[in-house]
Amino acid sequence: MSSNDVAIRVSSLSKCYHLYENPRDRLKQFVLPSLRSMAGKKQKQYFREFWALKDVSFEVKRGETIGIIGRNGAGKSTLLQILCGTLAPTAGTVEVRGRVAALLELGAGFNPEFTGRENVYLNASVLGLSVEEIDARFDDIATFADIGEFIEQPVKTYSSGMYVRLAFAVIVHVDADILIIDEALAVGDVFFVQKCMRFLRSFMERGTVLFVSHDTGAVVNLCSYALWLHQGSVKLEGSPKEISEQYLKEQYQVMQGDVSLPARKVTDVAPKPVMQDFHDMRRDFINSTTLRNDIEVFGFNPDVTSFGSGNGAIVQVYLEDAEGKPLSWVVGGEIVRLKLTARLNSNLPSLIFGFYVKDRLGQYLFGDNSHLSFIDQPLFGLANQEWEVVFTFRMPTMPVGSYSIDIAMGSGTQSEHAVQHWIHDALSFVSHTSNGHMGLVGIPMLDISAKPV
């Protein structure tokens, strides 16, 4: 690989910490070795060594997004601090080509006594911006952070979410070549996290990203390469999917022993007839316990980010039950109707309406649009018309967390269409409890059978 293609090169990197049993041993280590050397006595060590990193080597190409996974104590944060220049290695070398912006542990780089404004200038200057450049970008930084009058208050009064808002707003506006993120997006409300993920995905198209996370789903979704750190060393590296699968397998083995199962031959089984409507046969039991999947729904927010040609606009979105009553709370597994209202400013042939449900990292979980339902008779919209569109489906059961729904209106075909109006995060909802399903979403089961054979 040409040196010009490499953004980060790490060679035989090691980091050792000296651990002392008590403060007196630290003083002894500072004073006694020199005295023993002068007296010609054998040296004595008053600490024990802890190697946070041991002989770590890897390269990151320009424009690559690399995910770093590993258990707590594996050395991930130590590695990132060395890459950022805030920590010196014990051995080995690090080459970083380009301006680095990092979002490490909460509050890193902030002075708690300074105001948000003062910390913006401090943080941005450390990242290489001049005072004139910060002056020119400050309003955009404050708008992105969206913490209002708190920008003039000491950051020691901030919540964890406000810390992250301000820190991320700074790194968005410093024109970095390399972005390093260490689990910082684990806090913050769903709308801000979605805003950050849109920036991150845009940055990935032109810059280099190091992304540390315990969320293997996020690593698979965001990264082109993955590195698995284990007890300070690189255990495995390769495709995010393969590394994540191996990592999860080991975690299960650590917790409950070997989970490998012998291969079983799959025999042909006649499929059971699919009912027109159904509910999970376990639902009555689930709904009478704490396993019920309760989902709190928040109303339509017309002020969120949107884009489009302007020939039409989506003016209302909400969830309702099967009888048409608006919902502020829904239980996973129930039938819901996603209803949207749109107004047209121009004649629009072949109208298409659609939606996406996303998790807090912006991963698309499921969605649909109207194209196939009207492919034989495309929808034709007239100027000044108002349209009501309803998607009826059974709400999946959702893991605990925050989610949002993008709503869109376009005209054309599935593969080639003009976006008339796309609203990011038009609706949001929070899943408070989950019934323990596996994966990103759960679906009601038609039937589960088991018998000895």
Residues 6+ apart with CB under 8 A from 117: 138, 151, 152
- pLDDT at residue 2, rounded to an integer: 59
- Average per-residue pLDDT in the chain? 83
Does residue 219 share a domain with residue 316? no
Residue 92's H or E segment, with its range, is: strand 91-96
Does residue 236 share a domain with residue 307? no
The tokens of 283 are what?
């639902």
Residue 84's nearest CA partner among 51, 123, 111 is 123
Does residue 124 share a domain with residue 173? yes
- pLDDT at residue 265, rounded to an integer: 41
The answer to the question of residue 282 being in a domain is no
Does residue 308 share a domain with residue 248? no
Domain of residue 219: give its range: 3-252
Does residue 64 share a domain with residue 208? yes
- pLDDT at residue 34, rounded to an integer: 73
Does residue 393 share a domain with residue 302? yes
Burial class (CB in 10 A: 0-12, 13-18, 19+), 341: middle
CA distances (Å), origin 272, targets 275, 283, 446, 449: 9, 20, 9, 12
Q: How many domains does the chain have?
A: 2
Does residue 73 share a domain with residue 203? yes
The answer to the question of residue 177 being in a domain is yes
Q: Is pLDDT of 387 > 90? A: yes
CATH number of the domain to which 130 belongs: 3.40.50.300
Tens of pLDDT, residue by residue over 236-280, are: 999 888 888 788 778 756 654 544 444 434 344 344 444 456 666
What letter represents residue 393's amino acid? F
Does residue 235 share a domain with residue 325? no
The answer to the question of residue 376 being in a domain is yes
Query: Contact, 304 vs 279, CB < 8 A?
Result: no
Tens of pLDDT, residue by residue over 189-219, are: 677 777 888 888 888 888 999 988 877 777 8
The answer to the question of residue 343 being in a domain is yes
pTM of the complete model: 0.65
d(CA 80, CA 70): 13
CATH number of the domain to which 320 belongs: 2.70.50.60
SS3 186: helix
- pLDDT at residue 129, rounded to an integer: 87
- pLDDT at residue 285, rounded to an integer: 61
Does residue 313 share a domain with residue 234? no
Does residue 192 share a domain with residue 90? yes
Tens of pLDDT, residue by residue over 402-448, are: 899 999 999 988 878 888 999 988 999 988 876 656 677 877 776 66
Does residue 365 share a domain with residue 222? no
d(CA 281, CA 283): 6
d(CA 124, CA 425): 29
- pLDDT at residue 268, rounded to an integer: 41
Does residue 198 share a domain with residue 311? no
Among 141-145, 303-307, 386-390, the minimum mean pLDDT is found in 303-307
Last residue of a domain, one of 228, 252, 276: 252
Last residue of a domain, one of 203, 237, 252: 252
SS3 84: helix
The answer to the question of residue 153 being in a domain is yes
Last residue of a domain, one of 252, 274, 305: 252
Residues 6+ apart with CB under 8 A from 151: 115, 116, 117, 120, 142, 145, 166
The answer to the question of residue 182 being in a domain is yes
Which residues, in sequence order, are bridge partners of residue 317?
A: 340
Q: Is pLDDT of 281 > 60? A: no
